[in-house]
Amino acid sequence: MMGPAFYIAAAIAVIATVMVITRYNIMHALLYLVVSLLAVAVVLYLYGAPFIAALEVIVYAGAIMVLLIFFVMMLNLGKESAMQEQRWLKPRIWIFPSLLCLVLLGELVFLISQNHQPPSEIKVVDPKAVGMALFGPYMAAVELTGILLMAGIVGAYHLGRQKEKTLHRFLEN
Amino acid sequence: MTNFWWIIGGVLFALLNTAAGLIWVERRMLALWQDRYGPNRAGPFGLLVVLADTLKLFFKEDWIPPFADKIVFVFAPAVVMLSVLMSFVVMPFGPHIIVADLNIGLLFFLAMSSLGVYSVVLGGWASNNKYALLGAMRGASQMISYEVFMGLALMGVVVLSGSFNLREIVEAQRTIWFIVPQFLGFLIFLVAGVAETHRLPFDIPEAESELVAGFHSEYSGMKFGMFFIGEYLGITLISGMLVTLYFGGWLGPAFLPPVIWFAIKTFCFILLFILFRASMPRPRYDQLMEYGWKVLFPLSILNLLVTAAIKLWLNT
């Protein structure tokens, strides 16, 4: 039961990711990215990490991607941008990224062929264990991430702040 | 195994019938609270109005605007149904009536409700219509913001019960329903739930007096029907969640079976949702956002902090 489910989810993730790269319409690309994230969530669930799987859906698929789609929606990119994308993505463009990917693939194949590790025991990690790990040995990392986010918020606030300006003939301040 | 399929079938049957029946219930109750009759001609008490409405939806021309993004346009209404129906998977309707007893039940519910945003956003975007786009923008920002407080408000319940599992959360309420220690959390969740299902008074994504019909302006026929039924299912879902998390779920005196207790409590909340619609005006969009981030957000964090502190204090 586990094997086929894993391969189906993994195949969907790979196909969806390829579609993300090759679509000309940015909205469709983003939707494929959502599908890819959901497939990864299924894979994580199958590997006994239900908590991370749920967070993947809530944070990535449910919040970050919605924000991205939200911005793209406001940019109102129509057919023209898809045409432009089509002009930019010539076959010649693909050569260098493909080479890099081939090197990575070679490395991966080599590593897999080197040591035949037996698949590690699948163990369900419950939310409590994740919490204990995060606020135990990895406390510093969590705090640092928090500071990073804080910096982002402060920066966004600073950029977004503007002087109150009333555009009216009689009301100027 | 057969039992399992019976549960899935029973849950689906009950939910879809509830959603359809709510068409009639809502119109009759609104009429009652506004001092008029409502639909009372077709069949006993006007009950057949459900049938008439459904027939009308099925036979309307299912029109896709030529300027719309066809695939996404068709796909969007399915998302709302799918995400809401999937959320019911983790809901305990009775001691043993639960489709999937997931360890992360509450998170699963939050994940599905965050996926529900896509129906509004994609529906509005694919329609390629200014009103629809405005509705989608409002919907997206409203639902993303209110999801935050919803999640934070629920964490109070998680702290008290020590579990994300909805069955265990219900079991933990045997001594006292969580409405008592988590009253603030309950209020925040209620408000966030109304915003999440974009029901009146928070129905600004589809505010018909400003935006025609908001994100589903271009939808007709059964595609509109999906949004319509999805909204009723959403009400049922939030009501069921309120009951499960704060009102003891299926717990109740033994003279009625647990499922009946669950149904009665859920129905009371559905009526509350309809009463909101009958009695409250719609706030302005910026008021809604400000109210969320400046009032509900600090309150929900405070609620979580105090709950956790008291829990720690009692444990030591």
ipTM: 0.78
User: Which pLDDT value is given to residue B316?
Assistant: 76
Per-residue pLDDT band at A147 (split at 50, 70, 90): very high
| Distance between B293 CA and the closest CA of chain A, angstroms | 14
Q: Is residue A116 part of a domain?
A: no
pLDDT band at A165 (very low <50, low <70, confident <90, very high): low
Average pLDDT over chain B reads 85
A167 pLDDT band, cuts 50/70/90, is low
Partner residue facing A66 (CB), from B103, B108, B140: B140
Interchain CB contact of A149 with B (< 8 Å): no
Most confident range, picked from A1-15, A118-132, A146-160: A146-160
Residue A108 lies in a domain: no
Please tell me which of the candidates B69, B108, B118 has its beta carbon nearest to residue A66. B118
The answer to whether B133 contacts A73, with C-beta atoms less than 8 Å apart, is: yes
Same structural domain for residues A28 and A86? yes
CB contact under 8 A, B104 and A34: no
Give the C-alpha distances (Å, rounded to integers) separating A66 from A14, A70, B219, B226, B261.
21, 6, 22, 21, 37
Nearest to B145 by CA among B185, B117, B107: B117
On whether the CB atoms of residues A62 and A73 are closer than 8 A, the answer is no
Domain contains A106: no
> Shortest Cα distance from B103 to chain A (angstroms)?
8
- Total CB pairs under 8 A between chain A and B: 70
Does position A125 have pLDDT exceeding 80, yes or no? no
Classify residue B176 by burial, with Cβ atoms within 10 Å: 0-12, 13-18, 19+. Answer: exposed
Query: Does residue A48 lie in a domain region?
Result: yes
- Assess if residue A13 is contained within a domain: yes
Tell whether A51 is within 8 A of chain B (Cβ): yes
- Closest-CA residue of chain A to B139: A70
> A63 touching B, CB under 8 A?
yes
B39-57 burial code (b ≥16 CB/10 A, e <16): beeeeeebeebbeebeeeb
- Tell me whether residues B164 and A55 touch, CB distance under 8 A: no
Asked if A12 and A84 sit in the same domain, the reply is yes
Chain B contacts to A (CB-CB under 8 A): 69, 71-72, 102-104, 107-108, 110-111, 114-115, 117-118, 121-122, 124-125, 133, 136-137, 140-141, 144, 147, 151, 164
**Which domain covers residue A45, as residue numbers?**
2-91
Are B121 and A73 within 8 A, CB to CB? yes
Phi and psi based region of residue B221 (left: phi greater than 0; alpha: psi -120 to 50; beta: remaining): left
pLDDT by residue, tens only, chain B of 316 residues: 567 788 888 888 888 888 888 888 888 888 888 888 888 887 788 888 888 888 888 888 888 888 878 888 888 888 888 888 888 888 888 887 788 887 788 888 888 888 888 888 888 888 888 888 888 888 888 888 888 888 888 888 888 888 888 888 888 888 888 888 888 889 999 988 888 888 878 887 777 777 777 788 888 888 888 888 888 889 999 999 999 888 887 887 778 888 888 888 899 999 999 898 888 888 888 888 888 888 888 999 999 899 889 888 888 7
- Residue bearing tokens 């009372």: B40
Query: A71 and A23 in one domain?
Result: yes
Domains of chain B, by residue range, sit at: 62-315
What radius of gyration, in Å, describes the C-alpha atoms of chain A? 22
Final residue in a domain of this structure, among A91, A118, A145 = A91
Give the residue among B138, B90, B121, B98 at the shortest CA–CA distance from B7.
B98
* Residue A101, domain member (yes or no): no
Q: Of A27, A51, A62, which has the smallest distance from its Cβ to B104's Cβ?
A: A51
Last residue of a domain, one of A91, A107, A135: A91
Statement to judge: residues A55 and A11 lie in one domain: yes
A153 touches chain B (CB under 8 A): no
Contact check, Cβ <8 Å, A127/B103: yes
Enumerate the residues of chain B whose CB falls inside 8 A of the CB of residue A54: 104, 107-108, 110-111
Partner-chain contact B111 A54, CB within 8 Å: yes
Q: Is residue A15 part of a domain?
A: yes
Task: Tally the domains of chain A.
Answer: 2
The tens digit of pLDDT for each residue in A64-103 reads 888 888 888 877 766 777 777 777 777 777 788 889 989 9
- Residue B156 token pair: 């109070």
Say if the Cβ atoms of A127 and B69 lie within 8 Å.
no
CA distance A100 to chain B (A): 34
pLDDT tens column, B31-42 = 888 888 888 887
> Do residue A73 and residue B103 have CB atoms under 8 angstroms apart?
no
Interface test with A, best of B1, B102, B107, B133 (most A CBs within 10 A): B107
Chain B neighbors of A27, CB-CB under 8 A: 69, 72, 125
Instruction: Say if pTM beats, i.e. exceeds, 0.80.
Output: yes
Distances (CA, A) of B22 to B42, B198, B259: 16, 16, 19
